Amino acid sequence: MAQDRDIGIKALMDQGFDLHGGEEVLDAFRPNFLSFLQRSLVIGILTTLGFALVPGLSISFAAQVVLALIVVVLWFFVFDEWQEWRDRGDDLWILTNHRLFLVNLREDDSVSWWNLSDIQSVRPVFWWSLRIRARDGRATVMSYVRPDRRLRDRIMNAKDGNADG
């Protein structure tokens, strides 16, 4: 965990961003390629099942497997699913005792943040992302971070002032 804090501090400093007085980095989170791959495969398989269940389209199981592989490859490259990973794969989410930062050098505003006091809820989106909703209705998604209960709890505990939770 100390390594994650060091990564977060370095990333913010590299962007010329200073923390407020008394603000300290608690944790840092990066997207997980396996979560991205699982999401893409689920979408590909569901799309394939949609084709396979079309009335009048009777094909063998082997043909369905081949179709599934083709759809997944098409989804990745033709429909530019891979671009999603290129855009989100370098995200670095940094949790402090006051804010949640997103550092992404691919975007114009390479550092953005949410005050923890503004966060209303943190909920999983399937098993590949967390949706963070603010009291004013704004929302963002922490894509491909493997949203287990510990990550959600870590953010909510920091919000509630229990940084060690």
Extents of the domains making up the chain: 2-31+90-159, 35-85
Domain boundaries 2-31+90-159, corresponding CATH code: 2.30.29.30
Predicted TM-score of the model (pTM): 0.72
Q: How confident is the model at residue 120 (pLDDT cuts 50, 70, 90)?
A: very high
Reduced 3-state DSSP string for 15-81: CCCCCCCCCCEEEEECCCHHHHHHHHHHHHHHHHHHHHCCCCCCCCHHHHHHHHHHHHHHHHHHCCH
Q: What percent of the chain has pLDDT over 90?
A: 10
Q: For residue range 122-146, what is the model confidence (pLDDT) as tens digits?
A: 998 887 788 999 999 899 888 888 7
Check pLDDT > 90 for residue 79. no
Under 8 Å between Cβ of 97 and 23: yes
Most confident region among 11-25, 41-55, 58-72, 117-131 by mean pLDDT: 117-131
CA-based torsion, 34, 39, 40, 46: positive or negative: positive
Cross-strand pairs, 25: 96
